[in-house]
Homo-oligomer: A and B are copies of this chain.
Amino acid sequence: MARLVMKFGGTSVADLDRIRNVARHVKREVDAGHQVAVVVSAMAGVTNTLVGYTKEAAALHDAREYDAVVASGEQVTSGLLAIVLQDMGVEARSWQGWQIPIHTNEAHGAARIERIEGETVIERLERGQVAVVAGFQGLAPDNRIATLGRGGSDTSAVALAAAIHADRCDIYTDVDGVYTTDPRIVPKAQRLERVSFEEMLEMASLGAKVLQVRSVEMAMVHGVRTFVRSSFDDPEAPQAGNGDLPKGTLICDEDEIVEQEVVTGIAFSKDEAQISIRNVADKPGVASNVFVPLAEANINVDMIVQNISPDGKTTDITFTVPQTDYDRARAVLESKASEIGYQTLEGTTDVVKVSVIGMGMRSHAGVAADCFRGLAEKGINIRAITTSEIKISVLIDSAYTELAVRTLHSLYGLDG
């Protein structure tokens, strides 16, 4: 007997037939003797419709009212799934965020979960009742509904799993797990049986869109074993028993991963824009003159490269920003041209960030060197580099995206 959280996204609950399919997945786990809490998103398209209404109502609108409108989508799905489960003979009830309650902070529209009162849900689970929880929402300190921001249902699921001390949080999605890279680019990409929280965090934040970044952070902080699997698998198919997991990817503590590969995956993000400031004075305060105005404009700067000045007088600074902020970032810097004192401002949105990720690289030398040599052999120019303990990222021309990803995937032995 285990206690499970099962999370189903919008495409998995897009209509009543799909909701029935979800119910069969739930019934399978209940029949196996498990205690089950389900977290559901809004039916596919509903959230977009509701968001569209709020925009049509007013371009700038009260986030508390946005929350009241948009949170209704998950409310509907939770009620419908409870009805379908009951119809299948599974005892179930729906729970809205304010009923549990799931307490959030006051940041309406993009709230963070602060605390979940899990006691009542646990009591019901122990009585054999399935809890169907509306995802993506909670109760703010003003006693009004708060939503967690797009994709927040993943976070709802992981937070609930932590609060009710679940043995596992199963994220049912439209893919059957996390891959070594995007299979659309590298057909030989392999599904990972297990991946550590840290690695998944790098992959999620780099554009592997299987799981929301915040949900992975939360899973890591609370040690919630999170299992990604497909909602399109046959719900009645025989499942692996006794601790063996069905087809999917387990995101877990690195201690649970027996054979740690040096490199786990190759991620890439096309949402990058590069800005270079040439011939700025090489003196204290210059970097601050550049990046403080950007921070004040709420522009998130990612890679930053500043080389040792060859002549000790002027230098170049290169950095990346999200593509959506590119024009705004240039405008901010041009308005501060005299304070910064640069000669030219250049930039392009025609770049991609490719990253090599792996816990094993902490204890293996030469991983970065292999990457640079491999790309050089294919004639791919590296515009900028950043590294962390478990990640090497390079910024390259976007035309080379596929070539670079395939080259690195093969280089680190990830091809099947």
Contact B72 A94 (CB under 8 A): no
A4-19: CB near B (< 8 Å → 1, else 0) gives 0000000000001001
Whether A398 is near chain B, meaning CB under 8 Å from some CB there, is no
Q: Quick check: is A335 within 8 A (CB to CB) of the other chain?
A: no
A82 to B64, CA, bound (A): 10
Q: Is A29 on the interface with B (CB-CB < 8 A)?
A: no
A75 to B97, CA, bound (A): 15
Contact A68 B61 (CB under 8 A): no
> Distance (Å) between the CB of A99 and the closest chain B CB?
6
Interface residue A79 (Cβ < 8 Å from any Cβ of B) = yes
Copies per complex? 2
Do residues A75 and B69 form an inter-chain contact, with CB atoms below 8 A? yes
The answer, yes or no, to whether A57 is at the interface (CB within 8 Å) is: yes
Between A16, A67, A76, A144, the greatest number of chain B beta carbons within 10 A of the residue's beta carbon is seen for A76
The residue that A76 contacts in the complex, of B50, B58, B87, with Cβ under 8 A, is B50
The verdict on A83 contacting B98 (CB below 8 Å), with A69-B76, A75-B75, A93-B65 known, is: no
- CA–CA, A87 to B61, complex, Å? 7
In the complex, the answer to whether B75 meets A58 with C-beta atoms within 8 Å is no
A318 an interface residue at 8 Å Cβ cutoff?
Answer: no
Query: Are A69 and B61 neighbours in the complex by a CB distance under 8 Å?
Result: no
Given contacts A61-B86, A72-B72, A87-B61, contact A80 B54 (CB under 8 A): yes
Name the distance in Å between A113's Cβ and chain B's nearest Cβ: 20
A363 on interface, CB distance cutoff 8 Å: no
A101→B87 CA distance, assembly (Å): 31
B residues in contact with A54, CB < 8 Å: 79-80, 83
Q: Is A274 an interface residue, CB under 8 A from the partner? A: no
Q: How far does the alpha carbon of A135 sit from the alpha carbon of B123 in the complex, in Å?
A: 33
Are A57 and B84 in touch, CB under 8 angstroms?
yes
Q: Is A268 an interface residue (CB 8 A)?
A: no
Q: How far is the CA of A393 from the CA of B54 in the complex (A)?
A: 50
Residue A259 is within 8 A (CB to CB) of chain B in the complex: no
A62 within 8 Å of B by Cβ? yes
Residue of A16, A50, A80, A98 with most chain B CB atoms under a 10 A cut-off: A80
> How far does the Cβ of A369 sit from chain B's closest Cβ, in whole Å?
56
A56 at the interface (CB under 8 A from B): yes
Contact A65 B79 (CB under 8 A): yes
User: Would B79 and A68 count as touching, CB distance under 8 A?
Assistant: yes
Q: Which residues on the B side are within 8 Å of A79 (C-beta)?
A: 54, 65-69
A143 contacts the other chain (CB 8 A):
yes
CA of A84 to CA of B53, assembled, Å: 11
Give 15 pairs: A residue, B residue, CB < 8 Å, sorted on A: A16-B53, A50-B76, A54-B79, A57-B83, A57-B84, A58-B84, A58-B86, A62-B82, A62-B83, A62-B93, A69-B83, A71-B75, A75-B75, A96-B145, A99-B144
The residues of A with any CB-CB pair to B shorter than 8 Å are: 16, 19, 50, 53-54, 56-58, 60-62, 64-69, 71-73, 75-76, 78-80, 82-84, 86-87, 93-94, 96, 98-99, 143-145
The 8 closest A-B pairs by CB, nearest first: A68-B79, A58-B87, A69-B79, A72-B72, A57-B83, A65-B79, A61-B83, A65-B82
